[in-house]
Structures are given as C-alpha cells and as structure tokens.
Structure 1
Amino acid sequence: MSEIEIPLVGGRITAGVVRVGDTVRRPISADRWNVHDLLRELENIGFEGTPRFLGIDERNREILSFLPGDVPPDLDHFSDVQLRSAASLLRRFHDATAQSPLARQQNAEVICHNDWGPPNAVFYEDLPFGLIDFDTIAPGLRLWDLGYSAFAWLDLGNPEYTGAEQVRRLSVFAEGYGLSTCSPAQIAAYAVARQTALASSGRMNGKTDMEDWAASAAHWTIINVTEKLLPTGYFIDTDF
C-alpha cells in the first residue's frame, strides 16, 4: 500500500510539495546539485535547522526530512524574541556555510539563502528554528542576505510601523545576528538595495505589482530608517 501524500500549506509553498510520512517530496524544476551538496555538507557538520536530503523518489521528486512545526502564512508582526531568533538562525547558517566548497570556489563570505523570511521559516514553540526552500541560494555577502532578511522579517515599508519603531526593531535584529561588522545602519542600507533590486526584477519581468510594492518599500525605508541611521552624505547604490 502506498503512503498517503498530504499537501503542505503555509508560507509560499512551491506547487506540488507534499508530506509523506516523515519526509517531504518536492518537485524538481531545475538542476539542484548545489542545493543537495549544501544540505549534505550541513548534515555532515551537524548543523541543525535545515532538512536532510534523502534522495530522489520514483517520480523525480526530492526526498527531504520533514521539520515538524508551523510555517507562517505570510509577513506578519513578530516579537523581539522572534526577530532575534530569526537573525540568530541566519547567523548560524552563514557560519556553517562559510567554508563550504561552493563559497570557497567563489571566494565568497558565505552561502546566502536569499529568501530568508517568515514564509520560509519553520516555527517550533513559537520561535523560528528551521530554514526551508533553497531555490535561491548563492555565494555572497552576509549583508546581502541580511538586507533581504530584515526587509522580510521586519516588513520594512509597512506604514503600520513608525520609522522610530523600525529603527528599534532593526537594532534588535542586528543584535540577534551578533556580528559587529553587520550594524543596523549597514543592514538598513542593504535592505534598500534588496528592495530596489526586487523592484527592478519586477519591472524586467512585467510584474508591476511587485515593482510598485518593492519600490514603495524602498522609498519608505530610505525616508524613515536609513536617513536616521546613516551619516549625512552617505550614498546608497540602488542601481541593480
């Protein structure tokens, strides 16, 4: 008797992802050798917080270990404790990938998740403990990843927050990451860069809603956050 397949929901789940027993089956739409190699490396060094790659099934789907917990439906309002936890988990992921072959080949600081936000987090006992969805991993800078992560976790650009409150929350996020070279001001600058890059991507791909949302978020972040944190005359390169 074949095992029951349970469609997974929550976050922005890739179409066709299902749970089978204690595993997740995920359709493969592109070459995934880099993802599989990274997951194997993380398993070998004992990193907790990512699923284990278990192989390919008869329907050419990835077999991953299932991380028990809950995935938020989308961006939401998160507590200081949750923000610190999310940033701390990203720091541990970065530290674990810094010496990976893929990072070393590109002379990169770390492997960036590039989509570390609530929809790709597994929560357990109300705190993020697992990272999922590695479609966008690439060698890069810690701050490049932190900029997007702050944008996503703090919902930078959401006018429900005041600028002062987002500056405070950004300091909480930076504290959770815990690296002095990644200050709130630097993370804010890279958040604007990531917002601007997302707007450019939306424009190039004809996704006007994405373009308008990301451009509006970048404008809000510059006015309400970066101008409060960065020295007068500091230039943010938003040409992506």
Structure 2
Amino acid sequence: MNNAEMLLMGGRVTANVVRVGDTVRRPITADRTQIHDLLVHLEERGFGGTPRYLGVDDQNREILSFLPGSVPSDLGHFHDAQLVAAAALLRRFHDATADFPLVRNSGAEVICHNDWGPPNAVFLDDLPCGLIDFDTIAPGLRLWDLGYSAFAWLDLGNADYTGDEQIRRLCLLAGAYGVPGCSAAQIAIYAVARQSALAVSGRVQGKTEMADWALSAASWTILNVTERLSPTGYALCSCV
C-alpha cells in the first residue's frame, strides 16, 4: 500500500490537503459533522459525483475517497457540452439531497453547494463529473445555487461576451438542469443576487478588489441579461 503523501494542486485548494493512495486527507479545522453526514447520505442515495467519507485518520484529518481527474484553477470559458454536464450534475446533486434531514427540518428545497463553479469541479474526459469542497453547504433554494452556478460557469459579467451569447448559454444551462420554475430568466435574477451578495461580502471582509469585480459583474448582468429577460421597468436597455 502506498502511504506517500502528495500535496494536491489545482482549484482553490485548502491548505495542506494531500492525496494518500486512493484517498484525500484534509485537516479538520471546524465541526464538519454536517458535511460528513451529507456525504454519507449521498452515498446511500447512489449519487456518484462526490467523494465518499471514510473517517478520520490519526492526525485528525478527514479521509475522503479520491476522485480521479483534473480541477481548473479559476474561471474561464467552458464550452456548451461542459455547461450542460455541469448543470445536469448539479440537478442530480440537488435531487439526491432533497430528503436530507437538514433540508426537511428547515423547510428548504435542497442542500445548496453554494460554490459550484469550475474550481470545485473534477473534470474527466473534458467534462465535469464530480463536485468537491463542501465548506459552504446550506439548505436553500435550487435557484439560489443555480444563480451562483450561472455566474461562475458562464463567467457572467465578463464583457468579452455579448449579451446575446450569454443569454443563449444561460438558456442551455437552464434546459440541462431541467426543472420547471428554474427558467433562464429566473436564474438570471438569482445570478445578480449572488453577485451582489459577493460584493457585500467582499466589502465586509475588506476584499475591495473582489467586491468591485462582483459589483461590476452584477451591473453587466442586469444591463445585458436580466433586463432583457425580466424587464425591471426602469428602461435600462436604453443605457446599454
């Protein structure tokens, strides 16, 4: 058995996360009981897109199964097939969490990953096939998670894209997720909410650059996507 430790790279990696054989060891710095319970629940539901929780080692590190593949280091351009796969994977994740006790007890719809973007996706054969990093999970609405996912996977707010192209890609993502009530127009509204929330979080944490980027992204999304799909009545399209 190979017990050599290999520091994991790629994505936005938590410090000191290592691979040991076919497992991942991650330092436990806070109560992760809810995360471990969720991973066990997902395994029981037959969901194969997340690591398996295997216990705690003698260095007080959680032991997770290793998902083979690669993890992007940041946002970027992802082609249509990758967007479809990302949305379909999120749908399966949400469906598998709908009867998780925390969801039932809170009156929510699903467990939200809350950070489902390329840096938390494991790619295999050029497609996202696994979700990792569950530090931000919470019970919530499908649309709340979809809003952030659209922001991250489509890079909403990047002026290199036209509004027409981002609306097309957003419709593709909504169609792949495939839940009535989660239309492209509704996802766009929640994308702005998530961008705005990130801007506020950045201000509170003193991360000015992040806050400015998120606020700029929200403004672009309102003018080029949201206003066209769900007009506010403020005649904003005349400003574009």
Alignment of 1:80-229 (within 5 A): 80-229=80-229
Q: What are the Cα deviations for residues 64-104 of structure 1, in whole angstroms up to 9, with x where unaligned?
A: 00000010121111111100100000000000000110101
Alignment of 1:3-152 (within 5 A): 3-152=3-152
Separation in 1, partners of 2:152, 2:29: 25
- The match for 1:237 is none
Separation in 2, partners of 1:123, 1:182: 25
Separation in 1, partners of 2:233, 2:28: 47
Structure 2 unaligned spans of 5+: 235-240
Q: Quote how far apart the aligned CAs of 1:231 are.
A: 3.5
Task: Say if 2:12 and 2:73, in contact at 8 Å, map to a contact too.
Answer: yes
Task: Say if 2:148 and 2:190, in contact at 8 Å, map to a contact too.
Answer: yes
Separation in 1, partners of 2:84, 2:72: 17
RMSD: 1.2
Question: Amino acid of the residue matched to residue 3 of structure 2?
Answer: E
Task: Say if 2:199 and 2:211, in contact at 8 Å, map to a contact too.
Answer: yes
Separation in 1, partners of 2:122, 2:2: 27
Q: Quote how far apart the aligned CAs of 1:232 are.
A: 4.5
Separation in 2, partners of 1:187, 1:139: 18
Q: Quote how far apart the aligned CAs of 1:233 are.
A: 2.9
Paired residues, what number?
Answer: 234
Q: What are the Cα deviations for residues 94-145 of structure 1, in whole angstroms up to 9, with x where unaligned?
A: 0000011010110110000000000000011111000000000000000000
Separation in 2, partners of 1:32, 1:46: 21
Separation in 2, partners of 1:205, 1:69: 33
Separation in 1, partners of 2:102, 2:118: 26
The alignment's TM-score, normalised by the length of structure 1, stands at 0.95
Q: Quote how far apart the aligned CAs of 1:3 are.
A: 1.3
Question: Amino acid of the residue matched to residue 34 of structure 2?
Answer: N
Separation in 1, partners of 2:127, 2:202: 31
Q: Residue 174 of structure 2 aligns to a residue in which SS?
A: helix
Separation in 2, partners of 1:45, 1:11: 27
Question: Amino acid of the residue matched to residue 175 of structure 2?
Answer: E
Q: Quote how far apart the aligned CAs of 1:2 are.
A: 7.5
Separation in 2, partners of 1:120, 1:224: 27
Task: Say if 2:2 and 2:21, in contact at 8 Å, map to a contact too.
Answer: no
Question: Amino acid of the residue matched to residue 96 of structure 1?
Answer: A
Q: Residue 128 of structure 1 aligns to a residue in which SS?
A: strand
Structure 1 unaligned spans of 5+: 235-240
Separation in 2, partners of 1:35, 1:93: 14
Q: Do the aligned partners of residues 79 and 2 (structure 1) sit closer, same or farther apart at CA in structure 2, a change above 3 Å counting? A: closer
